[in-house]
């Protein structure tokens, strides 16, 4: 039952999927953290793998950048492959002075400047939030690992190179911790499908300070985030 974007057959994908934006990060997770790995997707280079972590079956698959991309892949996972939970593992730009490079941010909620929610024809503004059970497990795992973790609102923006130069200051003034480009779309897809979602982010750059991670660090240097996500996935599989 392959889709236009995923060549996997039903049953090849675990109930919980980790989703980095970069498919090469998915490959890295599979090769360095999972056992008994099989590749279930190579369509459009969006690599997907299934294996085991501490005896628990887990999949990892790239999502691409932005809500249109993660929207497609997460929709298909939820609706066509019986996936129950998706945990996004990504990078983000900090908006706050106390959220620094390599800190972990767990997205309790996801603000957005996108019109992604228009499709649901709601008579108001939808507030995309994480699944509390996944959030609770991730915070516990982060603390057990000694990670410098913050929990709160993130912003999922549609524009990376924004012509509106004051936009970051506006969101920062509302206490938003950092910016990614995917979480709100993932959370909305999960809500509409009555499934679970969580975003765990590593700060790769700061919007108001000097310094940023290299592309290589973004791809392979997010060990704490990956372990938090994997331990959360294992706990979810054990329920």
pLDDT tens, residue by residue, 210-236: 878 777 776 666 899 999 999 999 999
Band (pLDDT 50/70/90 cuts) for residue 180 is very high
Catalytic site residues? 205
The span from the CA of 128 to the CA of 191, in Å, is 8
Q: Which range, of 76-90, 183-197, 216-230, averages the lowest pLDDT?
A: 216-230
pLDDT of 191 higher than 90: yes
Chain CA centroid to CA 152, Å: 14
DSSP category for residue 9 = P
122-140 pLDDT, tens digit per residue, is 999 999 999 999 999 999 9
**Residue 219, token pair as written in the block:** 């791809």
Other C-beta atoms lying within 10 Å of the C-beta of residue 97: 10
CA distance 11 to 150: 35
Residue 214's pLDDT is what? 79
Read off the pLDDT of residues 106-118 as tens digits, 9 standing for 90 and up. 999 999 999 999 9
- Please check the confidence at residue 158 and state whether its pLDDT lies above 70: yes
β-pair partners for 199:
88
């Amino acid at each position: 039952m392959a889709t236009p974007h995923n060549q996997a057959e039903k049953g090849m994908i675990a109930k919980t999927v980790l989703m980095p934006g970069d498919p090469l990060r998915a490959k890295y997770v599979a090769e360095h953290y999972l056992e008994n790995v099989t590749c279930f997707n190579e369509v459009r280079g969006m690599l997907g793998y299934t294996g085991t972590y501490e005896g628990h079956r887990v999949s990892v698959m790239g999502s691409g950048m932005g809500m249109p991309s993660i929207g497609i892949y997460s929709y298909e996972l939820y609706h066509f492959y019986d996936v129950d939970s998706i945990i996004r593992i990504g990078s983000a730009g900090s908006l706050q002075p106390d959220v620094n490079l390599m800190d972990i941010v767990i997205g309790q909620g996801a603000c957005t400047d996108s019109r992604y929610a228009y499709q649901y024809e709601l008579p108001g503004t939808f507030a995309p939030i994480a699944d509390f059970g996944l959030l609770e497990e991730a915070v516990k795992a982060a603390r057990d690992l000694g990670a410098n973790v913050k929990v709160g609102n993130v912003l999922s923006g549609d524009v990376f190179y924004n012509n509106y130069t004051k936009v970051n200051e506006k969101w920062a003034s509302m206490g938003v911790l950092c910016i990614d480009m995917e979480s709100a779309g993932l959370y909305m897809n999960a809500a509409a499908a009555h499934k679970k979602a969580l975003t765990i982010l590593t700060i790769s750059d700061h919007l108001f300070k000097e310094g940023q991670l290299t592309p290589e660090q973004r791809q392979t240097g997010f060990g704490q985030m990956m372990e938090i996500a994997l331990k959360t996935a294992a706990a979810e599989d054990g329920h």
